């Protein structure tokens, strides 16, 4: 297999400065990288031995590495680049704002024009009842903010003993102390005294893992009822909020049955518990609706967001605050003693405004709902026929498939590979080497492509994925890991 290669830095928008930066050869960059740059979620011993892949350029759905390989970015960077790379109108909006006002804070009764415009824009796009937004610079900070708001809310409601936030195992809510605590990643908890007090977890709504013997609809209700059991165990007067991603992203594109979220909503309503829909991935069109809660059928009180709001061009996050919390916090809360230097950063807000204009003008949300989402779903359903694939699922522009040792009649009868073989990483390497980025979550391979990906590009991506599954199959046979 060959893929299009391109001289580094020779793209249409490459500048003299980029040229100088990228003229360092790959090996030198890797050595400097390994010597000085501590990467997130990375085993540095292994990275040093192998060398990082250096990404130097992006355009549309593609990125290029420092050896000139052109790669389909099936992960939108990291669930971020909804409008694709190389959108010069965002660059221009950012440059203009940098010239006019690169920074001002929004503490002490001050504000700035892009932040005002963006807050108004987001209130218009959000589900009914969301008129307020609090800005942060990341998804983790957004979830920290949501937690602070929940605790403040119950204080203002004269029920300060309501402090516990319930989340799910294998949830991802960021990597600050509160974010990692709210998340359900046991490997993250294990490296510190996490979760912090006041956070509890229930099992995730993963049909493949827990649904044996049930229909998906039955399992959805059962998994939601785990919340009610937990509430009763802790005491309803102690529970402040429930937090969940509409579809778990980092956990492996875990799509709950349709019965799950409406039942979670009923339980939250029954006990007066606040509902937080972490839309850092699902917001801004990923599921074919502006927000994932609309697709999944719940009415949250708080919506943390980040990633897709700027397509990752500039860091920005925030929390959309629904009526119930806003009434307490805004109308009678007095000072809310929380905020960040970069809350409402004018440059980030300018990037977001232009990014949202693109999503609206190009009707990307509608395209995902009507055209590309269904196309991706059909393509992944066909991949499920591959001998290495146990089952495959898809929703909007997010999809996942499980690599299995032996296929079964149902998702519950597949025989998995031994965990320590790390088959997902073997597969991921073949993907990368053949021009497509998929992420491995254990032995589940996932994609979340840019929302601008066309139907033809989906076909090309899925063709490459199938080829790489073949290569992985042969590789595993040669290693003696398959009969």
Ligand X SMILES: *Cc1c(COP(=O)(O)O)cnc(C)c1O
Using CB under 6 A as the criterion, which residues of the chain lie in contact with ligand X when the complex forms? 79, 138-140, 143, 172-174, 245, 249-250, 278, 280-281, 306, 317
Q: What minimum distance in Å lies between the beta carbon of 293 and ligand X? A: 13
CB of 180 to ligand X, least distance (A): 10
Cβ proximity to ligand X: between 171 and 469 the closer is 171
The CB density around residue 50, as the number of other CB atoms within 10 Å, is 11
Least spacing, CB of residue 136 vs ligand X, in Å:
9
Nearest distance, CB of residue 283 and ligand X, angstroms = 9
For ligand X, the closer CB: 140 or 355: 140
Question: At what angle are helices 260-271 and 216-234 packed, to 10 degrees?
Answer: 20
- Other C-beta atoms closer than 10 Å to the C-beta of 133 total 21
Shorter beta-carbon distance to ligand X: residue 245 or 294: 245
Q: Please identify, using beta-carbon distances, which residue of 281 and 314 lies nearer to ligand X.
A: 281
Least distance from C-beta 323 to ligand X, angstroms?
23
Query: Which among 249, 233, 244 has a CA at the least distance from the CA of 275?
Result: 244
The rounded distance, in Å, linking the Cα atoms of 368 and 289 is 8
Residue closest to ligand X, measured at CB: 139
Least separation, in Å, of the C-beta of 280 and ligand X? Answer: 3
Q: How far apart are CA 203 and CA 222, in angstroms?
A: 11
Cis peptide leading into residue 195 (ω within 30°) = yes
Within 12-143, strands assigned E span 55-59, 62-65, 70-72, 130-136
**C-alpha dihedral sign at 86, 89, 90, 91:** positive
Choice between 26 and 140, CB closer to ligand X: 140
The smaller minimum CB distance to ligand X, of residues 306 and 365, is found at 306
Q: Which is nearer to ligand X, 222 or 448 (CB)?
A: 448
Q: How far is the CB of 272 from ligand X (least distance, A)?
A: 25
CA–CA–CA angle 267, 271, 273 (5° rounding) = 85
The arrangement of strands across the sheet holding 130-136 comes to: 130-136, 317-322, 302-305, 274-277, 239-244, 164-168, 199-202
Both tokens assigned to 81: 């680049």
Least separation, in Å, of the C-beta of 338 and ligand X? Answer: 16
Closer Cβ to ligand X, 267 or 448, answer by number = 448
Q: Which element (helix H / strand E) includes 232?
A: helix 216-234
């Amino acid at each position: 297999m060959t893929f299009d290669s391109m001289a580094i830095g020779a793209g249409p928008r490459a500048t003299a400065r980029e040229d100088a930066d990228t003229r360092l050869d790959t090996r030198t960059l890797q050595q400097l990288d390994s010597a000085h740059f501590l990467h997130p979620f990375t085993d540095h011993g292994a990275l040093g031995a192998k060398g990082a892949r250096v990404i130097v350029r992006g355009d549309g759905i593609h990125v290029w590495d420092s050896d000139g390989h052109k790669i389909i970015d099936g992960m939108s960077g990291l669930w971020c680049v909804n409008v694709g790379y190389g959108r010069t109108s965002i660059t221009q909006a950012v440059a203009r704002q940098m010239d006019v006002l690169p920074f001002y804070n929004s503490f002490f009764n001050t504000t700035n024009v892009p932040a005002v415009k963006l807050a108004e824009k987001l209130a218009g796009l959000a589900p009914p009842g969301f008129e307020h937004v609090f800005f942060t610079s990341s998804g983790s900070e957004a979830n920290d903010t949501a937690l602070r708001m929940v605790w403040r809310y119950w204080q203002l409601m004269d029920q300060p003993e309501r402090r516990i936030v319930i989340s799910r195992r294998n949830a991802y809510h960021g990597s600050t102390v509160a974010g990692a605590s709210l998340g359900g990643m046991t490997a993250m908890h294990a490296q510190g005294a996490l979760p912090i007090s006041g956070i509890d977890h229930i099992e995730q709504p993963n049909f493949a893992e827990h649904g044996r013997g049930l229909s998906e609809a039955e399992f959805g209700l059962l998994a939601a009822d785990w919340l009610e059991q937990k509430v009763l165990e802790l005491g309803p007067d102690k529970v402040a909020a429930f937090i969940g991603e509409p579809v778990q992203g980092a956990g492996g594109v875990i799509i709950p049955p349709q019965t799950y979220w409406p039942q979670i909503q009923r339980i939250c309503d029954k006990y007066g518990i606040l509902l937080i829909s972490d839309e850092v991935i699902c917001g801004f069109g990923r599921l074919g609706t502006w927000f994932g809660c609309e697709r999944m059928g719940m009415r949250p009180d708080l919506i943390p967001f980040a990633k897709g709001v700027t397509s990752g061009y500039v860091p920005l996050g925030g929390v959309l605050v629904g009526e119930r919390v806003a009434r307490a916090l805004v109308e009678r809360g007095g000072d809310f003693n929380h905020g960040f230097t970069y809350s409402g950063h004018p440059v980030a807000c300018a990037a977001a405004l232009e990014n949202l204009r693109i999503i609206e003008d190009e009707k990307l949300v509608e395209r995902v709902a009507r055209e590309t989402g269904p196309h991706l779903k059909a393509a992944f359903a066909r991949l499920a026929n591959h001998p290495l694939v146990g089952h495959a699922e898809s929703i909007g522009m997010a999809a996942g498939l499980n690599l299995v040792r032996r296929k079964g009649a149902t998702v519950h009868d597949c025989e998995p590979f031994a965990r320590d073989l790390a088959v997902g990483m073997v597969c991921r390497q073949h993907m990368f080497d053949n021009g497509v980025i998929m992420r491995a979550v254990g032995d589940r391979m996932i994609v979340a492509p840019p929302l601008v990906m066309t139907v033809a590009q989906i076909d090309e991506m899925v063709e490459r994925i199938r080829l790489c599954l073949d290569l992985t199959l042969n590789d595993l046979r040669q290693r003696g890991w398959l009969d």
